[in-house]
Structure 1
Amino acid sequence: MSDLELLTRSLGRNVKRWRNERGFTLDALATRAGVSRGMLIQIEQARTNPSIGTVVKIGDALGVSITTLLDYEQGPRVRIVPADQAVRLWHSEAGGYNRLLAGTEAPGPLEMWDWRLMPGESSPSDPHPAGTVELVHVTAGELTLTVDGVPHRVPAGASASFEADAPHAYGNEGDVPMEMVLAVSVPPVR
């Protein structure tokens, strides 16, 4: 079985599991996540490979991390994620990418990402649930972090934190690749 097939099956199984644990119907989850009921059915039946945006919306609606939705084995209390098992969820032809490095539920989803944006690239994000906080640390280049329409420059070596319940985007307006580590903390679903 290929990695993509394994992730697709894991995603389907875990979405269904967490939807049932939360007591959500397909319609209720579709409404909360802003995705169609048909898309959820296809995901739960492992018949589609949804976009990262769709997976983020479903995770936010369920109150679980992307790591939890993609986890294909229950591990011990200490979980080591080998470098070759970091999940790449987005990449561009120019060489930009993001990789989910690690994540946990503590008490809500907590994720750590490795991002690279090539010159001229940007990646927008819809608002996350109220109370979501993101931390970024730029390791190379300069990040243009736009939160609620206001751009902020974050140079290499600098860090930033922000409330992520507003539209936001990560951009590279420079002429060298921008690399950063991003942590996302989402409050638990109540």
Structure 2
Amino acid sequence: MGAERTDEGALSEGFLAQVGARVRSARTEQGLTVQQLADRAEISRRLLTQVEHGQANPSLVSITRVARALGTELTELLDPLRPSGAISVVEAGAEVLVWSDEGGSSAHLLVATSHGRAADLWRWRLEPGAGYQGLADPAGSQELFHVLEGELTLTADDDRVVVRAGSSARLLSDRAYRYANAGATACVFVRTVALSGAR
């Protein structure tokens, strides 16, 4: 599977605890053993056990693989994003810190659609030199970006594009892709993930 991982950094403890409990619950509801789910997700049994107990430091890609092996997506494993009515508000500070590194880079899941996970909205901050190598999404999936500060380098197939502050971009994410900050200052951007074939 190669280097499909968050380049550096760690998933937040709160995120890991919440996702771990939900993974364990979903696995048992589906009647799967730890080994069966690990095989489906193409990760080790040991890592899956640690994920379920909130003790591992897996990549964001590994957690995505586990979610997909359970027939769901990462955002569907998070309680705060579940809607409570026709309008749901995630108050400032209540977004989910999913990933961060020691250099100050971070990824916050702001809000997600319900019932089929058609799209989710993220806020990322990448410090100079930081990047993310993504796992290919289902065929037809796309990601939308709007750069608020700095510049973001997007790479997919043989294309490499620099998106500067104030500009937006669309990325076909059903293939290997990467985004990085090759600039000299922090890059802040919002990202919408729209998976094809959402349930």
TM-score band, normalised by the shorter chain?
Answer: 0.7 to 0.9
Amino acid at match of 2:154: L
- Of 173, 181, 184, 2:190 maps to 181
**Change over 3 Å in CA distance of 1:28–1:186 after alignment to 2:** farther
1:51 partnered with 2:59? yes
SS of 1:84's partner is coil
Q: Matches of 1:61 and 1:142 in 2, distance apart? A: 34
1:135 partnered with 2:149? no
Displacement of 1:40 in angstroms is: 1.9
Amino acid at match of 1:81: V
Displacement of 1:25 in angstroms is: 4.6
Q: Matches of 1:188 and 1:62 in 2, distance apart? A: 15
- Of 99, 108, 113, 2:108 maps to 99
The Cα offsets for residues 13-51 of structure 1, whole Å up to 9 and x where unpaired, read as 311333355565534432332212232223224443533
Percent identity among equivalent residues? 35
Counterpart mapping for 1:17-96 below 5 A: 17-20=25-28, 24-71=32-79, 76-77=84-85, 78-96=87-105
Q: Matches of 2:168 and 2:128 in 1, distance apart? A: 20
5+ residue gaps, structure 1, are none
Amino acid at match of 2:185: V
The Cα offsets for residues 84-134 of structure 1, whole Å up to 9 and x where unpaired, read as 122222223332211111123342352211011122222221222323221
Count of residues in Structure 1 that have an aligned counterpart in Structure 2: 187
> Cα RMSD (Å) of the superposition?
2.8
TM-score (norm 1): 0.81
Q: Matches of 2:124 and 2:20 in 1, distance apart? A: 25
- Of 17, 21, 43, 1:13 maps to 21
**Change over 3 Å in CA distance of 1:74–1:149 after alignment to 2:** same
Q: Matches of 1:109 and 1:63 in 2, distance apart? A: 14
1:159 partnered with 2:168? yes
Tell me the residue number matched to 2:180. Answer: 171
**Change over 3 Å in CA distance of 1:165–1:28 after alignment to 2:** farther
Instruction: Select between 46-55 and 159-168 the one with higher mean Cα deviation.
Output: 46-55
Instruction: Select between 86-95 and 68-77 the one with higher mean Cα deviation.
Output: 68-77
Q: Matches of 1:14 and 1:104 in 2, distance apart? A: 18
5+ residue gaps, structure 2, are 1-11
